[in-house]
Chains A and B, each alone.
Chain A
Amino acid sequence: MQRLLLLVDRTSTWLGQLFAWLIVALTLMISWEVFSRYVLNEPHDWALDAQIMMYGTLFMMAGAYTLSKNGHVRGDVLYGFFRPRTQATLDLLLYFMFFMPGVVALTYAGWIFANESLAIRESTFSATPLPLYPFKFAIPLAGGMLLLQGIVEMVRCIACLRTGVWPSRERDVEEVDVDKLKAMVHVKDEDIAGLDKFVVKQGAAK
């Protein structure tokens, strides 16, 4: 069971990270397009469509990855003050109430939507048409992955209800990784602790 959960975790991370590389492709492609248009005077009519498809796929596929790293924005006002058991109860409840119906519906509807598109081999509206249906398949794919990840998160909630502590997650890059930032600007913990005397002195002066 545990292994299955980890497998889902890893899959969604792997998938999200795989599609994350699209940002590099997107950067290079748009930069090239700018160069091509202004310098070579040779704009491509399909460029915008391709850009949008890359962006859409990128963020959709990263949805489950973000969920697996607890990266979706949440109202932190009260949540942060709850004990883990309370947090887990609320989360579990709301996963059932909002997440499940929403994501199941999105996945199911996306599947139909994409298949309809596939049936008519839908393509974009421009002089150089690009096939549109693979892009639309990103919805059910992302939705399905999100659903699996959601189930894993619910199991996490149950585990937390049992033990009273949140099960740990696999490490991943964080936006503000204090230790890394400290290393980057060469500041050590002792230096910070050494500063304390200035603060204390100031407090004493008052």
Chain B
Amino acid sequence: MKIRKELWFGFALMALLIAGTAVMLLSADKVTNGHLGLMMLSLVVVAIMLGFPTAFTLMGMGMIFTWIAYEENTSKTLTLMVQSAFKVMGNDVLIAIPLFVFMGYLVERANLIEKLFRSMHLAMSRVPGSLAVATLFTCAVFATATGIVGAVVTLMGLLAFPQMLRGGYDVRVSAGAITAGGCLGILIPPSVMLIVYGATAGVSVVQLYAGAFFPGLMLAGLYVLYIVILAKLKPALMPPLSAAERFVPLPPLTEPIATHIGNTALPALLLALKGRSNVDVPLGHILKQLGVVLLPAMLFLAVAGLSWNSNTRPLNADERADLARSTATLESGGGLQTLGADEEESRRSGSGLAEPPAANAGDLKEPPAEGDLKEPPAEGDLNEPPATDDLKEPPGADDGAAPTEAGSASAGGVREPPPETEATAPAGRTPATQGWYIGTGVGALALLGFYAMLSFQRLEIFKMLLSSFFPLLVLIISVLGSIVMGLATPTEAAAVGALGGFLLAVAYRQFNLTMLKESVFLTAKTSAMVCWLFVGSAIFSAAFALLGGQELVENWVMSMNLSKTEFLVLSQVIIFILGWPLEWTEIIVIFMPIFIPLLDNFGVDPLFFGLLVALNLQTAFLSPPVAMAAFYLKGVSPPHVTLNQIFAGMLPFMGIQVIAIVLLYQFPAIGLWLPEVLYR
């Protein structure tokens, strides 16, 4: 029988593990229970590699070793098992998993991705490597909202890959952009991986979300940067789009205004309003266009006004609590209203939303319009003044932090006087802070620039974005925002997000019973997969702890006299290697309980460690030969695209991930700044 290379490699790894265990057992002076624990650990890795469903491997092995640890006392073993299972059933962190998964399936089936990609690639047509950049953006947004790697990669393989190939893009670069982008959803919150880590390590999911936000953005930003630089250096790999591909057709009613009056949307429309007889366009149409054009301005005014209000309002403790309640109301209502508005707007096929509902401002905090139509999108978004407003809104932050930490969903009734934070507004009616003036000024300038550049073609793109990109953005921001600002627990935000996904599907006319049924069943299967894994690992970890394996590991690690850096590097390398044979769920539920107790000895923050691990496990998705993303893409690509080409395309992105890990390690503030500002 001929054995393939992959098998040899795997068997060699297994043999190595078993041999190592044997050596350890033989060399120990006396085989203690702790040694048995380590043996169990290595056996479980071998058993998992054999391919049996992991949950049951863990459960069975855990039970057998618990029984040994309890000196063959069956009734104690049984009690421990059922208690562990029941603990998982009653876990108030894991409850968010089915909800987020459900939201993901609903959003995926709302079928926004086609429109999203089209509008993105038109909006970015002037950026070097525009199609690849648009792919990354689409992936990032869509993957964040859905969190389903396989579906995102497949869909982008169907949509973006043909476009890029037709545009003369290099196969490897295109494949790399799709696979790397599709995996971003694992890291950028709201992601299931962070919930799993939080539940295993006992770290607050809220803080993890706040912490992973900027590293996630940074990783996406690095990808985009890489593509842009590569396109500049080697234009042959990514030729610019031809004029025909950039062409945006104008609707017949807008056309005369553009040709007769002028192509800058705002003044032209205003002029057309006055001298309407010249061009013979119905008033209703002009007003609708004007409404869309003025949307960002109104939004800006609303945000500026609201933030000025909260910035200068005199407050005492009681009023503050009151305000907290009303803000909360406003915000949570806002999420729903906004979606309702989107629904209406899409029914009118994006032709015009008369005015933004007031509550809208709560969610649409940043007017991303500016940021996105101008060339450097990342810069635009980050500099927007409302970002600072977000942080400044004191009542939200105060109000939320308390209930979430208490971890109770019914905390609405318990309202302690909010603790003072540095972000809290001053107690008297004071003049607005300097930050507010700066923020508003920058915002106003951006707005002016936006209107100066807004041609009718760009207006069309803006409208397309409005109906594809913004609904998703609003969904993500309202889910994430309410969690991070502490308005809602992750569970609540996930449920409201699922409802939002549901409304989105209805709004885009993709909703029917089959679709709902499929989403429901898939949700059940995915949740069962993750949560049964937790049941298995709960039993397994209990056995490991009972045997005293933890103590042995701890003594062993401490005896190596590692410095903090050495320890971190070593642990990340181990996790990286484990990412090859195991999946991220398995790594987190089996190995995190072993790593986490060690962190204390080295003074490492479990939150920070979690961010490193999350970044690290990203690479597991892209490392050949088991990278799932590559196989999904291969499944939908033309026959002459080889797996090797796809792998070669993924390698630079893996390199970027390693750079991102190093950056995060060097500057922990990238991840820890936001949680610190919000919660400490």
Contact = CB atoms under 8 A, between A and B. Distances in A.
Contact of A65 (B111, B114, B154, B528): B528
B251 interface: no
Nearest to B164: A198
A138 interface: yes
B49 A75 contact: yes
Interface in B478-511: 488, 491-492, 495-496, 498-499, 502
B636 A47 contact: no
Nearest to A30: B495
Given A26-B99, A200-B640, A203-B640, A138 B51 contact: no
B439 interface: no
B92 A52 contact: yes
A90 B51 contact: yes
Contact of B151 (A45, A95, A100, A181): A181
A72 B410 CA distance: 34
B89 to A, nearest CB: 3
Given A19-B524, A23-B98, A74-B52, A106 B632 contact: no
Counting contact residues on chain B (CB < 8 A from A), the size range is: 35 or more
A48 B82 contact: no
B168 to A, nearest CB: 8
Given A71-B528, A172-B521, A30 B332 contact: no
B162 to A, nearest CB: 5
A161 B533 CA distance: 28
B59 A193 contact: no
A103 interface: yes
Given A17-B524, A73-B583, A94-B47, A78 B10 contact: yes
Contacts of A58: 98, 524, 527
Contacts of B581: 75, 77
A123 interface: no
Counting contact residues on chain A (CB < 8 A from B), the size range is: 35 or more
A195 B165 contact: yes
A111 to B, nearest CB: 9
B152 to A, nearest CB: 10
B410 A173 contact: no
Contact of B495 (A27, A44, A176): A27
A99 B98 contact: no
A5 interface: no
B28 interface: no
B82 A139 contact: yes
Contacts of B424: none
Given A38-B329, A77-B580, A94-B47, A185 B52 contact: no
B586 interface: yes
A196 interface: yes
Nearest to B167: A198
A23 B520 contact: yes
B86 A136 contact: yes
A108 B78 contact: yes
A20 B166 contact: no
A193 B583 contact: no
B638 A196 contact: yes
Nearest to A17: B521
Contacts of B11: 78
B676 interface: no
Given A110-B82, A185-B111, A38 B412 contact: yes
A27 B499 contact: yes
B469 interface: no
Nearest to B330: A38
B158 interface: yes
B55 A72 contact: yes
B430 to A, nearest CB: 29
B640 A59 contact: no
B640 A173 contact: no
B409 interface: yes
B49 A173 contact: no
B95 A24 contact: no
B231 to A, nearest CB: 16
A77 B626 contact: yes
B54 A74 contact: yes
A23 B63 contact: no
A59 B528 contact: yes
A51 B98 contact: no
A72 B90 contact: no
Given A74-B54, A199-B640, A37 B412 contact: yes
B78 A105 contact: yes
Given A72-B532, A184-B111, A185-B155, A62 B77 contact: no
B664 to A, nearest CB: 27
Interface in A101-152: 101-103, 105-106, 108-110, 112-113, 135-136, 138-139
Nearest to B166: A198
B486 to A, nearest CB: 13
Interface in B54-91: 54-57, 59-64, 77-79, 81-82, 85-86, 88-91
B641 interface: yes
Contacts of B445: none
Interface in B634-670: 635-641
Contact of B328 (A24, A38, A135): A38
B51 A87 contact: yes
A91 B650 CA distance: 33
B111 A175 contact: no
Contacts of A24: 516, 520
A106 B332 contact: no
A106 B81 contact: yes
Given A56-B90, A90-B52, A39 B329 contact: yes
A178 B636 contact: yes
A196 B640 contact: yes
B449 interface: no
A181 B333 contact: no
A66 interface: yes
B4 interface: yes
A20 B77 contact: no
A23 B286 CA distance: 45
Nearest to B645: A199
A144 B244 CA distance: 63
B151 A79 contact: no
Interface string B106-120: 000101011000000
26 contacts: A19-B524, A20-B524, A21-B520, A23-B102, A23-B524, A33-B492, A34-B332, A34-B496, A45-B410, A48-B92, A55-B94, A63-B528, A76-B626, A102-B63, A102-B536, A106-B81, A109-B81, A109-B82, A112-B78, A174-B522, A182-B636, A187-B159, A187-B162, A192-B637, A193-B639, A195-B161
Interface of A: 16-17, 19-21, 23-24, 26-31, 33-35, 37-39, 41, 43-45, 47-48, 51-52, 55-60, 62-63, 65-67, 69, 71-82, 87, 90-91, 94-95, 97-103, 105-106, 108-110, 112-113, 135-136, 138-139, 172-176, 178, 181-182, 184-187, 191-193, 195-196, 198-200, 202-203
Given A58-B98, A112-B82, 10 more contacts: A20-B523, A20-B524, A51-B491, A55-B98, A74-B54, A81-B6, A98-B47, A98-B61, A136-B86, A185-B158
10 closest A-B pairs by beta carbon, nearest first, are A98-B60, A79-B51, A56-B89, A20-B524, A30-B495, A62-B528, A109-B78, A72-B53, A102-B60, A102-B59
